[in-house]
Structure 1
Amino acid sequence: MCSVLWFQLLSLIKLYLLGFKVLVVQLLNGPVRLPELPRQDGKVVIVTGGTKGIGYEVVRHMVSLGAHVIIGGRNEQEGIGAVRRIREQCREAKVEFRKLDLASLESVRLFAQRFKKQDLPLDVLINNAGVMLVPGGRTDDGFEPHFGINYLGHFLLTWLLLDKLKNSGNCGSNARVVNVSSSAHSLGEIWLNDLNSCQCYSAHAAYCQSKLAQVLFSSHLHLEMQRGGFPVSSCAVDPGMVDTGLYSHLWTPLRLAQSVIARLFFRSPAEGAATVLSAALSPATDGGGYWANGHKQRTPPVTLDPKLQLSLWEVSLQLLGL
């Protein structure tokens, strides 16, 4: 029991110290400036978790550039509301909502099937939805929530839509997969024999593991597409400390303090969306990589380990029955 409590406390302290460091760097760097982006007329974009926060701002900006955007989200009322608000700002907006619950693999498969029936191309897939510090539990398919929602659900969605991406990209303009990760990946550890965190659970450690898994997946997917000669690039993005609802599961006293600090010092959702949009639309990200504060950044050596990337890829395929 003592060792479990120590592990949980250590994971908590490390993540909060990292958060403080990221916030200081963020304040010193200032806001990310969104470069002038080209029109996206005729392009089709899917954004998971696009009903609020960073995802909503990404959708709103994509639509303003002329893209046809499909929002994937689990809350239908929020989705209908997001579409209505965007159409009030732009009557000609091409935006729609489709039910997508990343905690249910059946829901992910159904979403992909319905999209394919629309017979549309897919130029950009933005895996933005996520959870943080949720209480211990299981998804509909028995996976630890952070691993199941942040990583595995998006892995399956990307896999099912990969042919669409391959067919939509071309030599002059790659199709894109953008995985919204976090600096927390640098604290993550991948236990291939215990991805569900059964042996010793910490919500903080589980969150970090899911974000590391995203970065490993993003790098390996990009490599696979290069090896196959497919016009698809994959990158991971860190939007920074952003004032969104992601922090709702903090311990209540910390949540109250965080809400005050966030209003004063965190980035706004629109500012957080800037790096995501740049990664999705800038030619610079054709080479993949990890992007934060508007620039490509180095990641810890573990994220570049080809054996670990491949092992996680193969285990994920097995877990999903692919």
Structure 2
Amino acid sequence: MAPPWLRALRAALRVYVVGVAVMMTQLLRRLRGDFRPPELPPQPGRVAVVTGGAEGIGLSTARRLARLGMRVVVAGNDERKGREAVSSIRAESGSDSADFLFLDLASLASVRRFVREFRASGRPLHLLVNNAGIMMEPRGETDDGFERHVGVNFLGHFLLTLLLLPSLRVGGAGGRSSRVVTVGSATHRVGEIDMADLHGRSAYSAHAAYAGSKLALALFSLRLQRLLDARGDRVTANMADPGVVDTALYRHLWVGARAVQRGLGWLLFKTPDEGSWTPVYAAAAPELEGVGGRYLYNEAEAEPAAAARDPELQRRLWAEACRLTGVADETAGL
């Protein structure tokens, strides 16, 4: 087995190669003049929860959903930013179309408290956008002892989604299906899942941890759709890859990558609004009514990595996530 430093270097190189490839694709699209937001019908009466909705892609997603007529619950762990986001969305829409609820995905207790508070509000739920995340941080642990990329990006959203499924089922019973949209990344294509060391305790690489968490989300989303299909729920689950977007997530990257972001971000990166187009498309496109189990990129269907489609890895990861979050595994036997 290669030494830890060599594995970390390999993971970093693979992540940056994927990033460069995505940026070149975005550059060509921009030069062709193909950057146009999707045209979507109004969505009056529908309620959405957007995690990480106070900034970056999440805020742009929340704004676009509110413009379509949805009522948006901004879920985040910074109350000041969250309330500022709500104020800006309300001012833009001219109505009380947004609210803030505190959610810290690094704490399973906070996830459970958020769900209790949302249910207590009496609102229906038609859309959950799993957007929040961290990127390539130095190793740290959540309140529950999980490596932070695994805990925040994957396990927090895993528990949140399962606890909100009853509300989503009710929301989808009135005609149109409810939707779960999980924001992914092309780095899932170079991600790996080590079931024996899910939390990176024996060897840690920030790049590998991030890519692995995005692979975990893809595995989760695809198995979730199998569960929904098996139960006949009027709820769909899809992945939405926003591309490489100019946000604050890149603050932990190698200094050279940050320099590219500062100097050429206007050309190679998508803006947060452009990055929101695919999640919003997944949330509201009529052609996706009742359609789940898809990986979407640039507002169109794409093929996820082969590892994401591995049913045995899906099963093992789901079972371990259930054990870690303390929920029953309803997919056993699927």
1:315 is matched with 320
Distance 2:197 2:66 in 1: 41
Q: Which amino acid aligns with 2:296?
A: W
Secondary structure of the residue that 1:248 maps to in structure 2?
helix
1:287 is matched with 291
- Of the structure 1 ranges 165-174 and 148-157, higher mean CA displacement relative to structure 2 is found in 165-174
Instruction: For 1:83-98, list aligned pairs within 5 A.
Output: 83-98=86-101
Alpha-carbon shift at residue 222 of structure 1 (Å): 0.7
Flag structure 2 segments of 5+ consecutive residues without an equivalent.
328-334
Alpha-carbon shift at residue 253 of structure 1 (Å): 4.5
- Of the structure 1 ranges 21-30 and 268-277, higher mean CA displacement relative to structure 2 is found in 21-30
- Tell me, yes or no, if the aligned pair for 2:38 and 2:299 is still in contact at 8 Å: no
Q: Which amino acid aligns with 2:285?
A: S
Q: Which amino acid aligns with 1:297?
A: A
- Tell me, yes or no, if the aligned pair for 1:66 and 1:93 is still in contact at 8 Å: no
Q: Deviations over 1:40-71 (max 9, x none)?
A: 11111000000111111111111112111100
Secondary structure of the residue that 1:22 maps to in structure 2?
helix
Alpha-carbon shift at residue 301 of structure 1 (Å): 1.6
Q: Which amino acid aligns with 1:295?
A: A
Q: Deviations over 1:79-111 (max 9, x none)?
A: 111111122222214101111111111111100
- Of the structure 1 ranges 192-201 and 42-51, higher mean CA displacement relative to structure 2 is found in 192-201
Instruction: For 1:139-154, list aligned pairs within 5 A.
Output: 139-154=142-157
Alpha-carbon shift at residue 311 of structure 1 (Å): 1.1
1:129 is matched with 132
Q: Which amino acid aligns with 1:278?
A: Y
Secondary structure of the residue that 1:40 maps to in structure 2?
coil
Distance 1:270 1:37 in 2: 15
- Tell me, yes or no, if the aligned pair for 1:238 and 1:275 is still in contact at 8 Å: yes
1:263 is matched with 266
Q: Deviations over 1:266-321 (max 9, x none)?
A: 11111110111000111333322100011101122211111111111111000111
Check if 1:110 corresponds to 2:113: yes
- Tell me, yes or no, if the aligned pair for 1:32 and 1:294 is still in contact at 8 Å: no
Secondary structure of the residue that 1:237 maps to in structure 2?
strand
Distance 1:182 1:272 in 2: 11
- Of the structure 1 ranges 34-43 and 272-281, higher mean CA displacement relative to structure 2 is found in 34-43
2:197 is matched with 194
Alpha-carbon shift at residue 171 of structure 1 (Å): 7.5
2:24 is matched with 24
Q: Which residue of 300, 303, 308 maps to 2:305?
A: 300
- Tell me, yes or no, if the aligned pair for 1:186 and 1:299 is still in contact at 8 Å: yes
Distance 1:170 1:115 in 2: 19
TM-score by length of 1: 0.96
1:273 is matched with 276
1:3 is matched with 3
Secondary structure of the residue that 2:180 maps to in structure 1?
strand
Q: Which residue of 79, 82, 88 maps to 2:85?
A: 82
Q: Which residue of 243, 248, 251 maps to 2:254?
A: 251
Aligned-residue Cα RMSD (Å) equals 1.5
- Of the structure 1 ranges 190-199 and 24-33, higher mean CA displacement relative to structure 2 is found in 24-33
Q: Deviations over 1:188-214 (max 9, x none)?
A: 111112110112110000001000000
Q: Deviations over 1:7-27 (max 9, x none)?
A: 111111111111101111122
Alpha-carbon shift at residue 252 of structure 1 (Å): 3.5
Distance 1:239 1:201 in 2: 26
Alpha-carbon shift at residue 2 of structure 1 (Å): 7.4
Q: Which amino acid aligns with 2:47?
A: V
